[in-house]
Amino acid sequence: MLENKKIVLGVSGGIAAYKAASLTSKLTQQGAVVKVIMTDHAKNFVGASTFQALSRQPVYDDTFDEQDPEGVQHVDLADWADLFMLAPATANLIGKLANGIADDMLTTTLLATEAPVYIAPAMNVHMYQHPSVISNLKKLNSFGFKFIEPGDGYLACGYVGKGRLEEPETIIAVLENEMKRTKVLQGKRILITAGPTREKIDPVRFFSNPSTGKMGFALAGQAAEMGAEVTLISGPVNLETPPGVNRIDITSASDMFESVIEHFPGQDVTIKTAAVADYRPSVTYEHKMKKKDEALGVSMERTTDILKELGRRKETQFLVGFAAETQQVKEYGRQKLESKNLDAVVINDVSEEGSGFAADTNRVIWMSKRNEETLPLLDKQETAKEILYRIAEEMKGV
């Protein structure tokens, strides 16, 4: 899977840099073309000539040492890469990358690349557990960086715990597995809905729900990485549009209905994660309602059931719904699957810790006409991957 892959290996200053030499050798033996960028501190542990001999490629360590006067070295290298591997990634490098600091060859190239970046941290166990490092790791995760977690064991500092750079063989296995699964949706057109809707009462008040859109945006970003052409229709959320995703912003349930119906034809997959209001005020006031002493009653009317309408209209589309439940989750999920003519439904108990609105994690049940599977508690990016892999597998048998 790594044959002819162009890999930039970033090596920062930790004792685990010696493993980066082994990683370079093994990647090269797999047929990859490896170009190494070293920080100044990394050279205190392993010499540049070692990496040059193992990779049979030039080693880069100085932003201003332009080897080709016709190009800009860090930009050309950033564009050249199919993927970026940081091993070892020290707390210092992680902190710089998380906060946009580009003060050497490695960090300037990292900020310039659009290739997938894999980070293999290595540091003292207490450093790895420090709140600032944890915060930086979470920030990078939200940016879409991928991680190869450090292992447990004896560390160079004398401590035993989590922080040891994962073994080169394991890193390569992770990369190969990612390569196998990366383009499973290549060429597919996917429509995803996300976030809440707002149903106005008057110019300053509305009914809504706590949906943040995190799950839908995670699905959109991962689907784009897997090669899909993604259209994301989102209610009001405070999230950045994932790279490569066409985003359409809406406000109300009727806005969502119109946009979804417009874009549904021609899609290969439609995933409806949006928490669309089931009811809206029967009357919307043109001016702000004034407070009164007596109680206020608001008459509500039903909104259009978008998912049911899609189930009625679908032809060849693979249609996936989400069911946020608080009780009898499987029973209600199965009912939704059947009554709305879905191909699959993703169910989560929003009353369970770590699975509710605004959480960064999710524990879901994948339920289709062919299969039912409970996934473990995962962060939403990983949950999105697992859902998309299952969609791809089921579509093979359609």
* 6 is an annotated ligand-binding site residue: no
- Amino acid letter for position 364: V
Q: How far apart are CA 390 and CA 318, in angstroms?
A: 12
Q: What is the rounded distance in angstroms from the CA atom of residue 353 to the CA atom of residue 281?
A: 32
Segment 353-362 long-range contacts (CB within 8 Å, at least 24 positions apart): 357/209, 357/210, 357/211, 357/212, 357/275, 357/324, 358/210, 358/212, 358/214, 359/214, 360/138, 360/214, 362/215
Kindly provide the b/e burial profile for residues 306-344, where b requires at least 16 CB atoms within 10 angstroms of the residue's own CB: bbeebbeebeebbbbbbbbbeeebeebbbebbeebebbb
Coil vs helix vs strand at 180: helix
Catalytic-labelled residue, pool 125, 127, 157, 179 = 157
SS3 239: coil
Helix, coil or strand: residue 195: coil
Which helix H or strand E contains 255, and what residues bound it?
helix 253-263
> Is 3:67 a contact under the CB 8 Å cutoff?
no
Task: Tell me the longest C-alpha to C-alpha distance in the chain.
Answer: 83
**Number of CB atoms found within 10 A of residue 393's CB:** 13
Nearest to 34 by CA among 17, 16, 13, 51: 51
76 is in an annotated binding site: no
Residue 104 annotated as lining a ligand binding site: no
- Tokens at 25, concatenated: 């050798």
CA-based nearest residue to 366, from 341, 339, 385? 385
Within 13 Å and on the Cβ side, how many CA atoms surround 138? 10
Active-site residue, 157 included:
yes
**Feature table: binding site for CTP:** 278, 288, 322, 336, 340
Please identify every residue annotated as catalytic. Answer: 157
**Feature table: binding site:** 278, 288, 322, 336, 340
